[in-house]
Structure 1
Amino acid sequence: MKIPAIQIKKLRKLTGIGIMDCKEALINSNGNLDKAINFLRKKGENIATKRSFLEVKEGALHSSINDDQTFGVIIGLSCETDFLSKNKNFLDFLSTLSKISLLYHTKKKFLSSLYRGRTIQDLIIEKMGVVGEKMELKIFERIESPFVTGYIHNNRKIATLVGFSNHTKGINKTMARDISMHITAMNPIAIDEKEIPDSIVEKEKEIISYQVEKENKPSDIKKKIILGKVRKFILENTLLNQKFIKDNKITIREYMNKFNKNLKVQIYKRITFP
């Protein structure tokens, strides 16, 4: 099977693995990126377990939170060039759209809503005529909780919103922002063990089993190794069990307990610009 060079380049960009290994993985997976990732991981390559395989496009993210911090919205606006995605005029326009987005619950309603006599979609089209590039609202994510905070990475390609169980009087805002930053940096799969999807655990168990089966050890020892590695995977990829990025001697759960043992993370959205 002949694999297009652009497909190999895409897999290499997603994984950081060498060209020949990427080519081999794609041949073995009939060009399927997801299966190619699993093929590489079974070979023992150290690749992140959760990635978006959407076409990479230029653009930027912006988030806004309402005044009493009970809900927030992340929007993402695509464009054709990296140059425009960093342009002040583009980012100011995105910021304006972000503030308006707080009034709506869905992308569809937001795009069809009126702002100064024109729909948001019409405003985007008009802006396209000014900048000379195709633009599209690619992302609209909203969360609600008693307290919501967020963080945007300085490259504006990653944005996070986090919802906590207590309102402003029962929460330390510095701690809440730290957790938003942690999620942005560490990309947990779920809040805790209960919320991690079974499909992800099973896929990881399959990969670990494949690796361990090649070892020359008794079957009972292999089973213990597999269980231990799966447990480690769950702990390293669930928010409350992850080591806090500012102090790796404690977990996020322990960090939160320093401020309020009854506080819970109810929901989070970590968005990367596709």
Structure 2
Amino acid sequence: MAITAAQVNELRKKTGAGMMDCKKALVEADGDMEQAIDILRKKGQKIAAKRGDNEAKEGLVFAEATADGKAGVLLALNCETDFVAKNDDFRAFVESIVKIAVENLPASIEELKGLKYDEKLTIDEKIVEQIGVIGEKLDLSKYEVVRTENVVAYNHPGNQLATLVGLNKSGDTAADAGKQVAMQVAAMNPIALNKDGVDENTIQREIEVGKELAIQEGKPADMAEKIAQGRLAKFFKENTLLSQPFVRDNKLTVEQFLNQSESGLTVTDFKRVALS
């Protein structure tokens, strides 16, 4: 059966596969469009199996808030090479997943992967199909969602880093302050909102390190605990968001900046994803 250019073009639009791959699939399927799509999907599964051990450290990260600002999503889709990450088709594919996530607000990455991408495929299945199209390992490696009164999304130029910040108040003033705090999260990478959010293992590790450093500096053992507690307080100040010096005015903490912007304004949650 002769395969027409129109058939090839239609399959290409449906799958994103290259012209030659589409033609070969259509020839193998004897012109049957649905069978040709399945052939390309199986190709993706074979490539995924072969490239399973490959490292996928490149990719794109996107954050986006819902239209009403009451929620936001943040996700990373990894690939193997910078060449693919900078490709417009790959970017469009990532953005299409973000759109589905914003519309559905799944609670976990597993739920996100199970959502319908189109009439036939889930997001997870579509990623496998795209592995066949692109020829590289793809990995939906990170997904976060924040729901609160006001969510601000920030995408750092280059889309290798993005953040979400949830605030307890809405409005223009809160949104502007939230954008600045979202940039703070991107730059300073806090580990928690405040000291109450730091896990006990991290606290104990910092205390032990502080004691050891004090002893190495020749301080008496009975003073080591007090010195370690002082160092722990400094650790909290440098590594918890609300206690950090505000990057645009280090005379203020982030907490003070927010309250100065609008009385009672604070952060209720934040997320940060960066490609390593």
Shorter-chain TM band: 0.7 to 0.9
| 1:141 corresponding residue in structure 2 | 144
Bigger radius of gyration:
2
The normalised TM-score by structure 2 is 0.74
SS of structure 2 residue aligned to 1:109:
helix
Give the one of 162, 175, 178 matched to 1:176: 178
Aligned-pair Cα RMSD in Å: 1.9
Aligned twin of 1:253: 255
Partner of 1:94: 94
Give the CA deviation at 1:273: 2.6
Matched, 1:120 2:123: yes
- 1:221, distance to aligned residue in structure 2 (A): 4.2
Shift of 1:156: 2.0
Displacement of 1:68 after TM fit? 0.5
- CA distance, structure 1, for counterparts of residue 152 and residue 201 of structure 2: 30
Q: Quote the Cα distance in structure 2 between the aligned partners of 1:115 and 1:198.
A: 40
Q: How many angstroms apart in 2 are the aligned matches of 1:202 and 1:61? A: 33
Which has the higher mean CA deviation after the structures are superposed, 195-204 or 210-219? 210-219
Give me the whole-angstrom Cα distance separating, in 2, the residues matched to 1:190 and 1:245: 17
Structure-2 change in CA distance of 1:210 and 1:56 (3 Å): farther
- For 2:226 and 2:200, the matched residues in 1 are separated by 20
Instruction: Tell me: CA distance 1:208–1:114, structure 2 relative to 1, closer, same or farther (3 Å).
Output: same
Alpha-carbon separation, structure 2, partners of 1:252 and 1:189: 14
Match in the other structure for 1:207: 209
- Cα deviation, residue 215, structure 1: 2.2
Q: 2 CA distance for matches of 1:177 and 1:159? A: 12
Partner of 1:154: 157
* Residue deviations 1:73-106 (CA, integer Å, cap 9, x gap): 1111111112211222211211111111121413
Report the alpha carbon displacement of residue 229 of structure 1 after superposing the two structures with TM.
Answer: 1.2
Aligned pairs for 1:211-226 (under 5 A) are 211-226=213-228
Q: Which amino acid aligns with 2:133?
A: V
In the TM superposition, residue 116 of structure 1 has moved relative to its aligned partner by: 3.2
Q: Which has the higher helix share?
A: 2
Runs of 4+ aligned structure 1 residues displaced above 6 Å come to: none
Conserved 8 A contact 2:56-2:138: no
**Runs (5+) with no aligned partner, structure 2:** 1-54
Residue matched to 2:43: none
1:81 is aligned to: 81
- In terms of mean alpha carbon deviation, does 202-211 or 102-111 score higher? 102-111
Q: Deviations over 1:110-133 (max 9, x none)?
A: 322223313222322222222221
CA shift at 1:247, angstroms?
A: 1.2
